[in-house]
């Protein structure tokens, strides 16, 4: 298992939200480029970047910043937020991004459209599934569908997806620990590679998700709050 450090961008700044609430935001850096330069010193295989403005609006709001970040860490960042079409995928990849994350858009696609998407882009497209009370949440976590996580994961697997980032919203930004039982169940019930996101607050939390069998875990606030060092995060990678 490896660790993926996270940069969430809102209004051009590096921020973190609490439980996905845009009204509960902490700003950690005015320029995300200073943060990615720090991450780059440890040679993480991937850096996770989310355009929070894009996630809400459905448009690529911070694409100029993301393009700059990609040039600093070419082919090794994954980007989500506001990516809704195959054309969006192509555009973001053209910046030098290694892979893109699609979530909300997939919930409105037909099975045929999803099959075409994954057949076209393969592992360049990572599924982003945000979960609230076992159901799939979309549009920047503002809307919850009746679709269960397991049903959606099963559909994605059938349509050719290979990897999913799964965020339990109730834990995100809380530092209170990840949803271990959720990730354990997913690893057991799907062949998708699962990346855990949300709730990491300690080294013990990282070890716990590792034991659950996930491919990787995303760490954001715990680093920014000084609870986990870069060296500790990178030790799972190197």
Return d(Cα 87, Cα 82) in angstroms, integer: 12
Biggest CA–CA distance in the chain, Å, is 45
Among 188, 172, 182, which residue's Cα sits nearest to residue 209?
Answer: 182
Neighbours of 22 (CB within 10 A): 16
* Residue located via tokens 């799972």: 236
* Residue located via tokens 């855990």: 196
Return d(Cα 24, Cα 81) in angstroms, integer: 19
Which strand (E) or helix (H) includes residue 36?
A: helix 32-40
Instruction: Tokens for 123, please give them.
Output: 């592992």
Return d(Cα 121, Cα 201) in angstroms, integer: 34
Return d(Cα 67, Cα 97) in angstroms, integer: 8
Q: Is 229 left (phi over 0), alpha (psi -120 to 50) or beta?
A: beta
Active-site residue set: 8, 130
Distance of CA 44 to the CA centre of its chain: 15
């Amino acid at each position: 298992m490896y660790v993926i450090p996270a940069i969430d961008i809102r209004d051009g700044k590096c921020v973190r939200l609490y439980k996905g609430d845009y009204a509960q935001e902490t700003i950690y850096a005015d320029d995300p480029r200073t943060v990615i330069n720090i991450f780059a010193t440890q040679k993480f295989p991937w850096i996770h970047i989310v355009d929070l403005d894009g996630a809400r609006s459905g448009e690529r709001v911070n694409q100029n910043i993301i393009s700059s970040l990609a040039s600093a860490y070419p082919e090794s960042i994954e980007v989500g937020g506001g990516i809704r079409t195959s054309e969006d995928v192509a555009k973001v990849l053209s910046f030098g991004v290694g892979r893109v994350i699609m979530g909300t858009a997939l919930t409105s696609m037909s099975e045929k459209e999803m099959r075409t998407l994954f057949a076209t882009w393969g592992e360049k497209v990572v599924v982003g599934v945000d979960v609230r009370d076992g159901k799939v949440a979309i549009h920047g976590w503002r809307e919850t569908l009746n679709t269960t996580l397991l049903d959606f994961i099963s559909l994605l697997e059938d349509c050719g997806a290979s990897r999913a980032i799964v965020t339990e919203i109730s834990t995100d930004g809380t530092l209170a620990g990840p949803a271990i039982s959720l990730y354990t169940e997913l690893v057991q019930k799907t062949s998708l590679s699962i990346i855990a996101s949300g709730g990491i607050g300690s080294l013990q939390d990282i070890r716990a998700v590792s034991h659950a069998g996930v491919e990787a875990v995303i760490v954001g606030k715990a680093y920014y709050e000084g609870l986990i060092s870069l060296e500790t995060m990178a030790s799972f990678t190197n």
